[in-house]
Structure 1
Amino acid sequence: MPRPTNPEVRSRLLSRGGEVVYERGFNGCGVQDITTAAGVPKGSFYNYFESKEAFACEILEEYWLSITTRIAPVLYEARIKPLKRIARFFKDLSEDHAIRNFSYGCLIGNISLELSNGSEDTRLRLANLLTRWERALAECLSEAQERGELSVGRNTGELAAILVEAYEGAVMRSKVEQSGATFDRFDAVVLPRLLA
């Protein structure tokens, strides 16, 4: 009879192994690197995940959960004007990247570049996460329209998608340059023009 899985081991694989993928890239590490970081035998990996690609889907979900728990609540803070909430959300995301000296990038963007053509399940998970991110921004933008901060003629779904695309471009360049200059430009130039 197979041993039941241990939630603590699964959690360690996701957190410590996920850090390895985030730091080195999906293709820059193997299952052995992931299990070594988590302190579990390599064979145990497959008791928790069908494949390395399935693991990627799970660490993406954990990454997004971390953002929604730590950073996204500002998007729903009714005491702050909606457009200021959006600016604060992106500023907080940028500060998160600064903690790692701008060298890791965004796990969503990183795995998009590595796996979107190689794993259909991962591509679908990425698409779902981007849709959820856009939806959260679009809700805030719709509230901005209701409050008269944003023209009612603007398509909030499209604008939210453009914000995500522009920000992900800034993240990619910040990773290349290992600098926060792209985030400064995003805050000072891109956001004001898009949200005008």
Structure 2
Amino acid sequence: MPRPANPQVRSRLLSVGRDVVHDRGFNGCGVQDITTAAGVPKGSFYNYFESKEMFAAEILEDYWQSIEDRHGPILYDARIRPLARIAKFFRALTDDHSKSDFALGCLIGNLSLELSNASDEARSKLLALLARWQEALAACLREAQERNELDRKQNADELAAIVIEAYEGAAMRGKIEQSGNAYERFEKVVLPRLLR
């Protein structure tokens, strides 16, 4: 009879596995690599996840939830003007990326490139996360429009999508260069031009 699932083991697989996938890429590691890093027998993996692709969807959710928990409140801080909140949010993301000397990039962007054509589960999760991110930014943009800090003619949802796309481009370039130059250009040049 199989042993009952242990939530601590599942949590460890997600946390450690997310780091392994972020460091090596989804296709650059196998279930054995993930379970070894987590100190869990390989066979136990499938007690918690139906497939490696379902695992990818769950680590993406875990990754974004971590960002929302740590940096999401910035976007809702009414003491700060809406456009300044957006800039502060992206500065916090850039600070996260700097901890790896920009070598890891954004897990959402990385797995978008790696899995969007290979895994329906991961693609669906990526679309859902991008929609959540876009809506959080769009809410700030609409508030800025209401306060006459942003042109009301701009579509807030489309502008939020463009901001995310620009940031993901900076994250990809930063990963390639292993430097913060692209992030700096995003923050100092691209973001101010988009949000006027």
Same fold (TM over 0.5): yes
Show structure 1 runs of 5+ residues with no match. none
Q: What letter matches 2:53 in structure 1?
A: E
TM-score normalised by the chain length of structure 1:
0.99
2:173 is aligned with what amino acid? R
Correspondences of 1:142-181 after superposition (within 5 Å): 142-181=142-181
Which residue pairs with 1:10 in the alignment? Answer: 10
In structure 2, the partner of 1:124 is: 124
Measure how far apart 1:3 and its partner are.
Answer: 1.5
Equivalent residue number for residue 98 of structure 2: 98
Residues 8-157 of structure 1 mapped to structure 2, 5 A cutoff: 8-157=8-157
Secondary structure, aligned partner of 2:166:
helix
Structure 2 gaps, min length 5 = none
SS at 1:71 equivalent: helix
- Structure 2 CA distance, aligned partners of 1:122 and 1:192? 32
Code of the residue aligned with 2:124 in structure 1: it is: L
Percent of residue pairs bearing the same amino acid type: 68
TM-score (norm 2): 0.99
Q: What is the CA–CA distance in structure 1 between the aligned matches of 2:56 and 2:183, rounded to whole Å? A: 27
| Partner AA of 2:69 in structure 1 | T
> How many residue pairs align between the two structures?
196
Deviation at 1:121, TM superposition (A): 1.3
Match of 2:150, SS state, is coil
Separation of aligned partners in 1, 2:184 and 2:191: 10
Code of the residue aligned with 1:152 in structure 2: it is R
Distance of 1:157 and 1:82 partners within structure 2: 15
| Offset at residue 2 of structure 1 (A) | 2.2
- Distance in 2 (CA, whole Å) between partners of 1:91 and 1:18 is 22
SS in 1 for 2:104: coil
Q: Which amino acid counterpart does residue 144 of structure 1 have in structure 2?
A: A
State the AA in 2 paired with 1:12.
R
CA distance in 2, matches of 1:195, 1:87: 10
Aligned-pair RMSD on alpha carbons?
Answer: 0.6
- Separation in 1 of the partners of 2:151 and 2:176? 36
